[in-house]
Amino acid sequence: MQLLRAAQPRALVSSASFDHCRSKKRVSLLPTKLEPAAEDRACRSAHAAEEAEEERCWVCLEGEEGGPLVQLCACRGTNAWAHKHCVDEWRRTSPREDAAYRCGTCKDHYRDALSLELLGARLQAERANGESTILTLSTLATELKGQGKYDEAEPLYREALGATRATLGNRHPDTLSSVNNLGMLLKAKGDLDAAERLCREALEGRRATLGNRHPGTLESINNLGVLLQAKGDLKAARRMLREANGCG
């Protein structure tokens, strides 16, 4: 996600902020004789002044003199604005595992070429060093899927699944997540029969190891329900979706 600062500045101030502004500032800032519309305008302009003061890059703390300010994630307030080059540099150098591909505060994925570049380089380094690649394989595959690159995601999901089966066993939560991930990718690619086999395996494993009401199990029930719906088995789909919603 990327928004230019000038694109729609007012739309970025939520109505919740105005409500907050009204209730807090009415007494202290505004003359009591103002009509409601004028009061709103005054309040909005006071709020806009505050917003303008806050429009600084959260990385270097400079304003637009350092380049255009953009919004790269869903953060608001003092973390809303940044120079893209500052955030890119931070993503390249941060020790955080997720800095390469998402904001650590709001968890919004950047979904861009740099995510793929940084995760690809990490995977290459892990392979070269003989380290475990399972997490990076899965993260990179999810990024590729999120960017619509299904064919590139599939071999990585398959490799992650093979590695989790070999090292953790078929019933480990990470293995079942890998089974689910590959199943959902194959569904997105239109291979519904293969997707169903994997979704059923993930669901059976999660029922057996996590119980019927665990969030992971409910996710699997929902996934299988949506898949059966796509396959036209509406009766079975309805049964699964009812169970996922706690009506089973």
**Closest approach of Zn ion to the CB of residue 66, in Å:** 5
**Is 1 in a helix, a strand, or coil?**
coil
- Which lies closer to Zn ion via its Cβ, residue 83 or residue 122? 83
In the three-class reduction of DSSP (H, G, I as helix; E, B as strand; rest coil), residue 248 is classed as: coil
- Which among 13-21, 52-60, 92-100, 204-212 is the span making contact with Zn ion, rule CB under 5 A? 52-60
Q: Residue 167: which residues within 8 A CB-CB, separation 6 or more?
A: 132, 134
Q: Could you say which of 83, 91, 145, 187 contacts Zn ion (CB under 5 A)?
A: 83
The single residue among 69, 103, 227, 241 that binds Zn ion, judged by CB under 5 A, is 103
Stretch that binds Zn ion, among 36-44, 100-108, 187-195, 226-234 (CB under 5 A): 100-108
Q: Which of 73, 119, 141, 185 binds Zn ion (CB under 5 A)?
A: 73
Q: Calculate the CA 177 to chain-centre distance.
A: 17
Residue 105 makes contact with Zn ion by CB under 5 A: yes
Tokens of 83: 């120079």
Distance CA 209, CA 47 (A): 52
Number of residues that bind Zn ion (CB under 5 A): 10
Nearer to Zn ion, 89 or 131 (CB): 89
Return the C-alpha torsion angle 114, 115, 116, 120, nearest 10: 100
Q: Please tell me whether residue 2 binds Zn ion under the rule CB under 5 A.
A: no
35: DSSP letter: -
